[in-house]
């Protein structure tokens, strides 16, 4: 497995995490909020970063000038109209999040800010680079269970391209990952696929010419996977530290 050096507290890089926009309850409040699972924050802290939550701010990517790295996080389906599909009755698009995350991805590439896309973040990455999505894996007839019930995780095998950045990070070309998604990559656009489930679903895309730009379909921030997936988060932190 790839060895990573610990990051000293004084040099912990600032890494932005995109957030949900949803109704949240705490104390006496039940209001619209910009929120994110605390597991993302804990995972980045363990990897040696100072995480910063990024509420949607469509039209302004200037925060990237103050960040060392970026994580485009998981969440609900992106608007199907972003890759030319008709609006779906069961979709609940969050336009401000979609537009902001696409803006951040393009802005990060222009500045070469190290970026990791997680689940929905991989799909956002691909859409930003001209790709498209499979609307529903069950409807498309894929055999591997990538999500049995919303809000739960399954596990399956992933094959990694030999010589790819992702294979170098994990030190292997085959591994188990967790999974909780019903959409997936149909066309990777100008990104380079470097990981696949056994049913052919794309699980990893990279931009080789970038300092660090990787999207994964699984959830490395999940507490049950954090030890196994810490090399990926630390690789992001190392790239952000340079």
Which tens digits make up the pLDDT trace of 114-136?
999 999 999 999 999 999 999 88
Q: What is the CATH number of the domain that holds 29?
A: 3.40.50.880
pLDDT at 2 over 60: no
Residue-level pLDDT at 90: 55
| 26-45 average pLDDT score | 95
Give φ, ψ of 127 to 5 degrees. -65, -35
> Is residue 233, in this structure, part of any structural domain at all?
yes
User: Is residue 6 a part of any domain in this protein?
Assistant: no
Residue 165: how many other CB atoms lie within 10 Å: 20
232 falls within a domain:
yes
Question: For 31-59, what is the mean pLDDT?
Answer: 95
> Which residues form the catalytic set?
119, 219, 221
Segment 32-61 mean pLDDT: 95
Q: Is residue 4 part of a domain?
A: no
Instruction: Round the average pLDDT of the chain to a whole number and report it.
Output: 90
How many folded domains does the chain comprise? Answer: 1
Decide if pLDDT at 151 tops 60. yes
Alpha helices in the chain (DSSP H): 38-47, 95-111, 120-128, 165-170, 226-241
Q: Are 160 and 177 in contact (CB under 8 A)?
A: no
Structural domain that includes position 210: 11-241
| pLDDT digit string, tens, across residues 188-204 | 999 999 999 999 999 99
The reply to whether 218 falls in a domain is yes
Judge whether 3 lies within some domain.
no
- Is pLDDT above 80 for 4? no
If you average pLDDT over residues 131-142, what whole number do you get? 86
Read off the pLDDT of residues 158-173 as tens digits, 9 standing for 90 and up: 999 999 999 999 999 9
Predicted TM-score (pTM) of the model is 0.91
Residues 6+ apart with CB under 8 A from 162: 173
Is 41 a domain residue? yes
- Is 2 among the domain residues? no
């Amino acid at each position: 497995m790839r060895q990573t050096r610990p990051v000293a507290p004084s040099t912990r890089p600032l890494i932005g995490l995109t957030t949900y926009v949803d109704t949240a309850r705490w104390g006496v409040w039940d209001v619209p909020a910009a929120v994110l699972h605390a597991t993302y924050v804990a995972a980045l802290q363990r990897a040696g970063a100072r995480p910063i939550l990024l509420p949607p701010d469509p039209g302004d990517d200037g925060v990237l000038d103050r960040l060392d790295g970026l994580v485009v996080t998981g969440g609900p389906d992106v608007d199907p109209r972003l890759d030319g599909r008709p609006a779906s009755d069961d979709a609940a698009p969050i336009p401000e999040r979609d537009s902001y995350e696409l803006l951040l991805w393009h802005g990060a590439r222009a500045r070469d800010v190290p970026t990791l896309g997680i689940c929905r973040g991989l799909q956002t990455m691909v859409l930003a680079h001209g790709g498209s999505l499979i609307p529903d894996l069950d409807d498309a007839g894929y055999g591997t269970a990538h999500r049995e019930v919303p809000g739960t995780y399954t596990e399956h095998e992933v094959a990694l391209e030999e010589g790819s950045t992702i294979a170098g990070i994990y030190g292997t070309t085959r591994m188990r990952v967790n999974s909780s998604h019903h959409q997936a990559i149909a066309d990777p656009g100008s990104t380079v696929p470097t990981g696949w489930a056994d049913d052919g679903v794309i699980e990893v895309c990279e931009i080789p010419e970038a300092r660090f730009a990787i999207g994964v379909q699984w959830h490395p921030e999940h507490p049950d996977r954090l030890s196994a997936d810490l090399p990926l988060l630390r690789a992001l932190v190392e790239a952000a530290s340079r």
